[in-house]
Amino acid sequence: MSQITYYTEEGLKKLKDELHEMKMVQRPAISNQIAEARDKGDLSENAEYDAAKEAQGILEMKIAKLDAIVANARIIDNTNIDNSKVFILSKVKIKNVTNAMEMEYILVAENEADLKAKKISIDSPIGKGLLGKKVGDIAEIQTPNGIMSFEIIDINR
């Protein structure tokens, strides 16, 4: 059961570049480490060999997981998305109802989330709470610190 995830072109390219790095650089490097450790003799007491084999297993798991993500990734075409509601790739200006502090975020896929760049995941509590809301709506969002209320001030792309 695979889950389709949506990305920007930039986000999907980043994932593909990471996968390429794992397959073309890291995988051959680990294979070389295994070969060098094997050449040192008795494998039953060879810690270098065991460590390299373990690293290889971990890398292959990461590659398989990333392969599945890339295979099920879809690029979002935001040219036809309605700006009247919050969707993925919406740039949303919100106001904390309690302290009147205003913030602006772009809702993105989980792998593209970067709080420093003001990109939050649609799977985060705030992202989930904002999805589908319109300008003027109040989003009641459950956070670890309790329920927070945010007013949607503006939505754009």
Query: In this structure, what token pair is assigned to residue 144?
Result: 């670890």
Arithmetic mean of pLDDT, 105-109: 89
Query: Cα–Cα distance between 131 and 155 in angstroms, integer?
Result: 11
In terms of pLDDT, which residue wins out, 53 or 143?
53
Residues 66 and 101 in one domain: no
Task: Determine the Cα–Cα distance for residues 71 and 19; give it in Å rounded to an integer.
Answer: 11
- Say whether both 111 and 61 belong to one domain: no
Query: What was the pLDDT predicted at 78?
Result: 64
My answer on whether 17 and 69 are in the same domain is yes
CATH code, 102: 3.10.50.30
Same domain? 91 vs 56: no
Dist CA 101 CA 117 (whole Å) = 18
**Token couple for 41:** 């003799």
pTM of this prediction?
0.67
Taken in order 39, 41, 43, 49, the sign of the CA dihedral is negative
Q: Residues 66-94: pLDDT tens digits?
A: 999 899 888 877 666 667 889 888 899 99
Q: Please check whether residues 107 and 133 belong to one and the same domain.
A: yes
Q: Angle, nearest 10°, between helix axes 27-39 and 47-71? A: 160
Residue 32 lies in domain: 5-75
* Same structural domain, 97 and 144: yes
pLDDT, mean of residues 47-62: 91
pLDDT (tens digit per residue) in 10-46: 888 989 999 999 999 999 999 998 888 888 777 677 7
Question: Are residue 70 and residue 124 in the same domain, yes or no?
Answer: no
Last residue of a domain, one of 54, 75, 96: 75
For residue 64, CA distances in Å to 16, 108, 129, 141 come to 13, 23, 32, 35
Q: Cα 104–140–105 angle (5° rounding)?
A: 15
Same-domain pairing of 13 and 68: yes
Which domain CATH number covers 17?
1.10.287.180
Q: How many domains does the chain have?
A: 2
Q: Do 83 and 113 fall within a single domain?
A: yes
* Residues 109-155 pLDDT 10s: 888 888 899 999 988 999 999 999 999 999 999 888 889 999 999 99
Same domain, 71 and 106: no
